[in-house]
Structure 1
Amino acid sequence: MSEEGQTPENPTPREREPVFLLPAGVTILAGVLLAVHLASTLILNQDGQMQMLFWFAFQPYRIVVASMDASIAIPLLWTPFSHAFLHAGWDHLLINLAWLVIFATPVARRYGAGAMLALFLLSAAGGAALFAATTLYSQVYLIGASGGVAGLTGAAIRFMFQPVLWARHPETGERVVLGRRLAGMREVFANPRSRFFTLIWLVLNAAVPLVPLLTGTSLSIAWQAHLGGFATGFLLVGLFERKV
């Protein structure tokens, strides 16, 4: 007979809290973005960085010159996606990482790491497409995860502000959390919180081209990639919704 207060021989192990609260897919994607930037800044010299931009940054002007030399257009097969892993500096990277953590997390928890990464890449390509449509002859290039992150933002807006759905367990009668439903476009703009966030986000990004006209200073912000990426994630997230 064991004495009162004695510690049992086989105590039930306490559940350990996870060290990282981020989903594994988000942590890995953020780590890849960080590793690429570290490698590009600490390992590559100036010539190497120029070569990296030539082969992996998205350059819409390749479309124009492809008629003269088709080989120049070959990087267009991957640069609409690969540009999302390059950044101009630490401030550029850290802002994108912070935004990624905030909005990739709910998407990854709802759909899984694979769907989150697919939305990130598709949105990066959608942002590159709008960037190309507005800068085709300007010989500029696009880098940064902003388009992909904007797409995850657009995807999250579709459900994160919707009310939580509950149901009764058929056997126990207990309340069970079903999650948040994916809202349609009308519902997004009918909900005051999602409408306010979406409109503010769209207005701020659409206003970027007006800043030089109003202040006389230029901003190196690819607003087209933001808007194109946001629209892509917003419209395509329904493809990943699980059928119940």
Structure 2
Amino acid sequence: MLIIPAENAIDWKRPPWVTLGLIMACLLVFLFYQGGDDRKLEGALEQYLDSELLALEAPAYEDYLQRKIRFEDEQERALELQEFQQLREDNEALWQAITLLLDREFYQYLQQNQGLIWAPAERNAWQQQRADIEARWISKMSAYQLGLVPAELSLYTLISYQFLHGGWGHIIGNLVFLFLLGFTVEKALGPGRFLVAYLVCGALSGLVFTAFSMGSQVPLVGASGSISGLMGMYVAIYGLQRIRFFFFLGVYFNYFRAPALAVLPVWLGKEIYDYWFAGATGIAYMAHAGGLMAGAGLVGLLGKSWLQVKQEFFEPEPEQQDEQFTRAYGQAMASLGRMEFDHARRQFEALRERYPDRPVLLEHLYQLAKLRPDLQDYRVLTEQLMADAMARRQPEQMVTVWQEYLAKGEPYHPLAADTHNRVLFFSLKHHDFKVAEKAFERMRLSASGDQVHEACRLLVAEFEKLQMEPKARQYRQLLQQHG
């Protein structure tokens, strides 16, 4: 079962730069730092197979697994034992070596029990050969240099492990969740506090993992603890507000609404249940649980001080936005009706700043600016309305606004050559040659020589198609003048 909060949509006008930076950092570390791990593992395997370590360790590994099954009731190890015995029967030396080198709990077992497993001569040979492989290759792999090893806990690995990953599937899954959750929490907290809270959640998650894995040599890597912290912060930020969640169960998926914090015990319960009953999956369930508690706890403790949510984060629901818009729009229209034009303009400007995607507001501002064609605002709003008309695929309106400006505002503040050029191209495309020639005459007053040359060439080509030779000749002459 998978449950993900899905309350907010990303606003690309204000990108989540810290979230994107964390994603990029994880990718760069994985590609350029961890990229050398394969070479180091190959070196370790080659040296391991050239030594007599496989003959020494393989029987000890079978005995180790049998002890786990018999004395520690780890029944899930039975499959591992069966698979390893099959590798030995098939003489699969490489896969045996991979298993033995990468099972850090087994290596720890050998270190603690070497005197009981081998005679002195064999023990000395094992110590010398294995220690050399560990020093030359294994200890230099990223997971052992910067991963969080519970038996060797250090402050810097509480941060560094968050940027390491175990493979493409691991990193892609984590980064997708980091993006889905990060942009919302970053928007709520602001970039600086978000980054600190993210790293602190990862560190606390690592400490919880260490507490449940005391003495283990198995390194923890990955951003999942930090991301679990984001999940905890996400629901704590919304508290008891009903928000939307996406869920996936088997082949069925859908959305539901629930109080945000009500989902936190569901997430926690799932991680704790999996820790006790899912068996050896390689997933750090207690790190996830620690991250969830850390994220929710940080917001709960500091949500009214250092981690206080930015006031503008809580945007009204769409229905509330429509109601607020309708009320404010009605007030602005009432000001128009009373001929309070300056007051109406300020009201429409405030509405447009809040609702930039509503074209009716731009049209009202344009009509108000038209009352004073001698002012610069009229030209600015004309160009904005023309661009908006093209964006909404209404080029006829663009031409109408352009013609209106030529009559009223052009003597005061001429339009840019590019604006006339857009009208020229549209008119030629729709064979409105009267408007096209008018746009050309206006454009050539301020356009560069290259623009005039290109426009002449297009006019000649269109008139030649229609066999309007006098017109074509007129623009050929102009073309020669600008050649």
Instruction: Give deviations 1:86-106, integer Å, cap 9, x for gaps.
Output: 000111111111111111111
1:46 aligns with 2:29: no
Opposite residue 207 of structure 1, the aligned amino acid is Y
Alignment match, 1:120: 198
The within-5 A match list for 1:176-187 is: none
1:81 aligns with 2:75: no
Opposite residue 148 of structure 2, the aligned amino acid is F
Opposite residue 220 of structure 1, the aligned amino acid is G
Determine which structure has greater relative contact order: mean sequence separation of CA pairs < 8 Å that are 6+ residues apart, divided by chain length: 1
Structure with bigger helix share is: 2
Alignment match, 2:419: none
- Check 1:129–1:155 CA distance in 2 against 1; reply closer, same or farther (3 A cut): same
- Give distance in 1, aligned partners of 2:219 and 2:189: 32
Query: Aligned-pair RMSD on alpha carbons?
Result: 2.7
141-150 vs 49-58, which moves further? 49-58
Aligned to 2:222, what secondary structure does the other structure show? Answer: coil
Structure 1 contact 57–143 (Cα < 8 Å) conserved: yes
- Give distance in 1, aligned partners of 2:145 and 2:36: 17
Q: TM-score, normalised by structure 1?
A: 0.67
- Give distance in 1, aligned partners of 2:34 and 2:146: 15
- Give distance in 2, aligned partners of 1:102 and 1:192: 19
Alignment match, 1:185: none
What is the count of residue pairs matched by the alignment? Answer: 185
1:37 aligns with 2:30: yes
- Give distance in 1, aligned partners of 2:163 and 2:27: 9
- Give distance in 1, aligned partners of 2:25 and 2:171: 11
The list of structure 1 runs, each at least 4 consecutive aligned residues, that deviate by more than 4 angstroms after superposition, is 18-22, 47-50, 161-164
Alignment match, 2:271: 205
Opposite residue 206 of structure 2, the aligned amino acid is A
Structure 2 contact 143–220 (Cα < 8 Å) conserved: no
91-100 vs 21-30, which moves further? 21-30
Opposite residue 194 of structure 1, the aligned amino acid is A
Q: Which runs of 5+ in 2 are unaligned?
A: 1-10, 42-136, 243-256, 312-483
Opposite residue 213 of structure 2, the aligned amino acid is T
Identical counterparts, % of pairs: 27
- Check 1:49–1:144 CA distance in 2 against 1; reply closer, same or farther (3 A cut): farther
Aligned to 1:208, what secondary structure does the other structure show? Answer: helix
Q: Which runs of 5+ in 1 are unaligned?
A: 1-17, 64-75, 165-190
Instruction: Give deviations 1:102-161, integer Å, cap 9, x for gaps.
Output: 111111111111111111110111111111111112222111101111111111111246
Alignment match, 2:288: 226
Aligned to 1:77, what secondary structure does the other structure show? Answer: coil
Q: Compute the displacement of 1:58 (Å).
A: 0.7
Structure 1 contact 96–146 (Cα < 8 Å) conserved: yes
- Give distance in 1, aligned partners of 2:168 and 2:139: 18
Q: TM-score, normalised by structure 2?
A: 0.35
- Give distance in 2, aligned partners of 1:159 and 1:207: 26
Q: Compute the displacement of 1:50 (Å).
A: 4.6
Q: Compute the displacement of 1:19 (Å).
A: 6.3
- Give distance in 2, aligned partners of 1:227 and 1:202: 6
Aligned to 2:149, what secondary structure does the other structure show? Answer: coil
Aligned to 2:237, what secondary structure does the other structure show? Answer: coil
Opposite residue 22 of structure 2, the aligned amino acid is L
